[in-house]
Chain A
């Protein structure tokens, strides 16, 4: 699998409508809450009205009198029934170690305190509002302190996991040109349009869970551990996911309670939390603060980089995204100091949200780079070029490939960057100030062990089974293209099954690893089928007798030799026995560490993604790159901010499914604009409660907010990352846009806004 591969048929990289598209446009794609189950009862959550304290009493009498109410779960009847398991970020399963309904303790606002189950949704909702909870409330800490955090030099940097090299402080003091600033990013919620639904049903001791999930094997094994069950007795079904963005990656507390409720009633129980509850049911992107200090010589060469970050987490969990791993290797610099601090608060535990580490940290660094370009009087693109590097400056490991400047050049040309007047406030169109900004996007190329089963029938129809997930990413299509390519059959002959824990395990659809991990497993299975057919053919009396089996290819429904001799697929398959030929492949990333090579499949079978990060490969680093350019228009009087134009150029290795990859990057670029200008979860600091917890007040872009968006693919071949040369890109698009927008706002107005999101009131 390690040699570069030639692709017969060339299906990989072919633009095509997504193969599951017809189901989606006709409303027949079955999302987990769409499965019809006989005799379903409905659950409704009661969530905490305080952020810190204890439940003194729960009064259920009034709720129990509502006609149709069947059961009410509280800590009094569920205590000890759900076992504690480790958090996903610590190598376990759950989004948080907070155990709701295990005791009267309240850790955060919106924590589940009761689950009401009734014959109908309406009765459950009515009864839930009649559950009266008395609290013993203590004053919560909502997040960061009001004043700026102070930089804290760590006495012994060698013992730290924070990337550091040289002496950043001394170099900064002696730098010719320096910039130093604080940047902040707000709390954000994923807000997939599909709610966090869960339906559980028991058949004897077998539990089936219908829940939108980015990791069905994790969910299955996590719930099994929580409920002290054999994992083989748990099945998770999630063939379609209505948006996730990280929010459906880890097991949240709700699932076990729905399973318990279904067990107690011995009938299916369906939970559809409200949108408001969804702000607390899953995770969020925590607010961050950054201190960035950059020093450079007069030519723009970086001499010192200091990036210190502060992140909010819950009281019990040390969740952090620690994006300094990326910002420390982005540019050549001999002296680097980084440090990440966690600030605990009375909040739910945060979690992964699209490009968890890169969005806040690269925003801070790329804003500071723009400030440095201004201080130097240098074009921001040229500043990146001068500091471009082919090695990680911390440990000198080479990049497997890095096309950052090719991306800049392609995007700059398409954008018309050469026509930019660098003077802030110098470009106008009538009543509108125009600003042009740019920034770097990057994302580590992560790869994980994955398994796939491929079946090829004599009629040329193929079936691919893997417990991967299509969360809108185009996974169904990318997997089908890979199989069609390797098996030499038309795309429409390939049927792909995903999102079911009874299928061979695949890793979490997160960290942009899925296409690389799963397509490599699928290709392996296809290659095994090819090999078996070839071996059969060369040893039989047919056309291909005596040929070298390694030379034979599957193409256009035939097994073909280089000299043009061939035999029909049907003949080749029937020779091996009656019926289809099947292969089950276990792909282990070439870049994996020795323990993952040994244990990776055991881990994934147990619901743990043994992902190798692109920044922690033994002898190189592997990242995808992009350059993002944004035009903002700011009205001279009202200060309304518009983004009429975005251009992004990306180099992400082999693009398996260009149609869906383009949509991923398009959506990512728009996500970045949303993050820079729209999104922020506002917190009532007196009570540590989210106040804009609905889709009218939590701002995300609508159609009228977005105009021209151009995505450019910069060709890139890199066979060090994995055999197929795939780098992920789902999380690449929204990394640079935050800073690009902020830099464009500076160019339009001369005002540097360092606290996101940038809104009208910041520009008055």
Chain B
């Protein structure tokens, strides 16, 4: 991942007609973006509406469903409960930046695919971001622990048994290649 550098930021994106904007440099998936936005803009809306990174989903906008889960400095964060101004100087990773290489899949993505760990797919980016952090944090040790630590991500299609199986497959691979 690139180190944070405002100098590498893309041109300023600004929405006209709004009051007092703030300027933020956002490091997302190793790229810097300069934004001038309403200070009330959440990280989720900044990603979706200003940067065109629509992989992170809005399901409740109040921290209840987990569909917007992303990583900030490697920790899972609900982007709908985070104002964009709060993550300046931090490294944001979204589902679009999870795979180690362009066009490839992270072991967790592959495992979700292998185990059909989703149906409609809408909660899936958030599930995968949570699952990756869950394994990295060493919390995915037993099936019961996986179920407990993944309970902040709602899946209305109820793919839960498949999600647990997917995480177990990816855990083995992630532990081999940390």
Given A30-B54, A193-B65, A243-B156, A122:B99 Cβ within 8 A: no
Kindly list chain A residues whose C-beta atoms are within 8 Å of the C-beta of B142: none
A663/B59 in contact, CB under 8 A: no
Name the one of A190, A666, A707 contacting B159, with C-beta atoms under 8 angstroms. A666
Kindly list chain B residues whose C-beta atoms are within 8 Å of the C-beta of A10: none
Residue A120, interface by CB 8 Å: yes
| A193 nearest CB across to chain B (Å) | 4
| B148 nearest CB across to chain A (Å) | 5
Given A123-B18, A474-B119, A670-B158, A26:B57 Cβ within 8 A: no
Given A27-B95, A121-B49, A22:B158 Cβ within 8 A: no
Name the one of A27, A31, A67, A706 contacting B18, with C-beta atoms under 8 angstroms. A67
CA distance A190 to B158 in the complex (A): 13
B148/A193 in contact, CB under 8 A: no
A24/B60 in contact, CB under 8 A: no
B17/A122 in contact, CB under 8 A: no
Give the dominant DSSP class at B's interface: loop
| A376 nearest CB across to chain B (Å) | 35
Kindly list chain A residues whose C-beta atoms are within 8 Å of the C-beta of B48: 33-34
A663-705: which have CB < 8 Å to B? 663-664, 666-667, 670-671, 674, 694-696, 700-705
CA distance A33 to B57 in the complex (A): 10
B56/A27 in contact, CB under 8 A: yes
Kindly list chain B residues whose C-beta atoms are within 8 Å of the C-beta of A190: 156
Residue B79, interface by CB 8 Å: no
CA distance A701 to B40 in the complex (A): 32
Residue A18, interface by CB 8 Å: yes
Given A245-B156, A471-B120, A670-B160, A703:B59 Cβ within 8 A: no
Total interface residues on B, CB under 8 Å, equals: 64
Name the one of B45, B114, B120, B152 contacting A194, with C-beta atoms under 8 angstroms. B120
Kindly list chain A residues whose C-beta atoms are within 8 Å of the C-beta of B7: none
Mask, B1-26, CB within 8 Å of A = 1, is 00000000000000111110000000
B67/A706 in contact, CB under 8 A: no
- Nearest-CB residue, chain A, relative to B121: A24
Kindly list chain B residues whose C-beta atoms are within 8 Å of the C-beta of A659: 116
Kindly list chain A residues whose C-beta atoms are within 8 Å of the C-beta of B96: 26-28
A703/B160 in contact, CB under 8 A: yes
B58/A195 in contact, CB under 8 A: yes
Residue A17, interface by CB 8 Å: yes
CA distance A28 to B162 in the complex (A): 21
Kindly list chain A residues whose C-beta atoms are within 8 Å of the C-beta of B119: 243, 472-474, 660, 663-664, 667
A1-58: which have CB < 8 Å to B? 17-18, 20-31, 33-34, 36, 40
Kindly list chain A residues whose C-beta atoms are within 8 Å of the C-beta of B110: 25
Mask, B123-144, CB within 8 Å of A = 1, is 1110010000000000000001
Residue B150, interface by CB 8 Å: yes
Name the one of A22, A121, A195 contacting B113, with C-beta atoms under 8 angstroms. A22
B55/A193 in contact, CB under 8 A: no
Interface size class of A (residues with CB under 8 A): 35 or more
Given A703-B146, A703-B160, A26:B114 Cβ within 8 A: no
| A644 nearest CB across to chain B (Å) | 11
Name the one of A29, A123, A192 contacting B156, with C-beta atoms under 8 angstroms. A192
| B38 nearest CB across to chain A (Å) | 4
B160/A120 in contact, CB under 8 A: no
A240/B121 in contact, CB under 8 A: yes
Given A122-B18, A245-B156, A27:B125 Cβ within 8 A: yes
B57/A193 in contact, CB under 8 A: yes
B123/A660 in contact, CB under 8 A: no
Given A25-B112, A275-B62, A122:B159 Cβ within 8 A: no
Residue A68, interface by CB 8 Å: yes
CA distance A313 to B172 in the complex (A): 52
Name the one of B59, B94, B155, B159 contacting A27, with C-beta atoms under 8 angstroms. B94
Residue B27, interface by CB 8 Å: no
- Nearest-CB residue, chain A, relative to B118: A24
A120/B161 in contact, CB under 8 A: no
Given A17-B116, A195-B58, A694-B64, A667:B18 Cβ within 8 A: no
CA distance A192 to B120 in the complex (A): 9
Residue B28, interface by CB 8 Å: no
CA distance A40 to B95 in the complex (A): 24
A68/B18 in contact, CB under 8 A: yes
CA distance A694 to B160 in the complex (A): 21
**Given A33-B48, A120-B41, A472-B121, 6 more pairs with CB closer than 8 A:** A18-B116, A27-B95, A193-B57, A272-B58, A670-B160, A703-B151
Provide 24 A-B residue pairs closer than 8 Å at the C-beta atoms, listed in order of the A residue. Answer: A18-B116, A22-B105, A25-B113, A25-B121, A26-B105, A28-B96, A34-B48, A122-B41, A192-B120, A193-B120, A242-B59, A243-B122, A275-B64, A275-B65, A474-B119, A663-B159, A666-B162, A694-B62, A694-B64, A700-B156, A703-B164, A706-B147, A706-B158, A708-B161
Ordered nearest first, which 6 A-B pairs have the shortest CB separation?
Answer: A27-B55, A242-B122, A472-B120, A24-B121, A472-B119, A27-B95
A interface list, Cβ under 8 A from B: 17-18, 20-31, 33-34, 36, 40, 67-68, 119-123, 190-195, 240-245, 272, 274-275, 471-474, 659-660, 662-664, 666-667, 670-671, 674, 694-696, 700-709
B interface list, Cβ under 8 A from A: 15-19, 38, 40-41, 45, 48-49, 52-62, 64-65, 67, 94-96, 99, 105, 109-110, 112-114, 116, 118-125, 128, 144, 146-148, 150-164
